[in-house]
Copies of this chain bind each other. A is one copy, B any other.
Amino acid sequence: MGRHREFDPDEALHIALHVFRRRGYEGTSISDLTEAMGITRPSLYAAFGNKEDLFRRTLDLYERQHLCFAHAALQAPTVREAVERLLRGYIDVLTDPTSPPGCLGVNGAVACSEASEPIREELIARRMVNENNLRDRLETARAGGDFPSDEDPADWARYVVSIGLGMAVRAASGASREELQRVVDVALRGWPTLPR
């Protein structure tokens, strides 16, 4: 019973994602959001809780909609190919012409005040999940002979994620897709070869 909601929460969340990607977490004001969504402040708070809650739900949508390629990438036949798909797929996300450049996760986690410390930690934790997934993939590859036994999966996972972070910063600064492709080209030059 009661009045019907006059907006689509899912559509509104997509708009929030767009705004947050453009302006970052702290750089986005509630007014920015309500204006873009076409709803009022009380409607936003009723539907999504406070700003932090909304950002977390936006993060979920971002991972579900834009970072979902990672799961498939990790299942490539070889780790080397998995890593390459990971990085190339990430470039697609970072330079998607229909979205503001850069990564929602990286842009939010780096700077700004300590009022949003919980958000910073959340983003660091989510990033760590991805790094651990990659490390696990490298470990199974090593066990299966697809990765040298004298190499440390954690070291390589950390390295690959660092490359991703660097590209995310560059993308936020306006780097082109081609530029980033060249970073990946060079980054994969050192991929360890199997002893034979």
Contacts and interface: CB of A to CB of B under 8 A. Distances in A.
Classify chain A: how many residues form its interface, as a range.
35 or more
B109 A173 contact: yes
Contact of A186 (B25, B27, B114, B156): B156
Contacts of A73: none
A172 interface: yes
Interface centre among A102, A162, A169 (most CB of B within 10 A): A162
A124 interface: yes
- Chain B CB within 10 Å — which of A25, A112, A159, A189 has the most? A112
Nearest to A157: B186
A54 B54 CA distance: 34
A85 interface: no
A166 interface: yes
Contacts of A187: 159, 162, 187, 190
Nearest to A26: B112
A98 interface: no
Interface of A: 23-28, 102, 106-114, 120, 124, 127, 152, 155-156, 158-159, 161-170, 172-174, 179, 182-183, 185-192
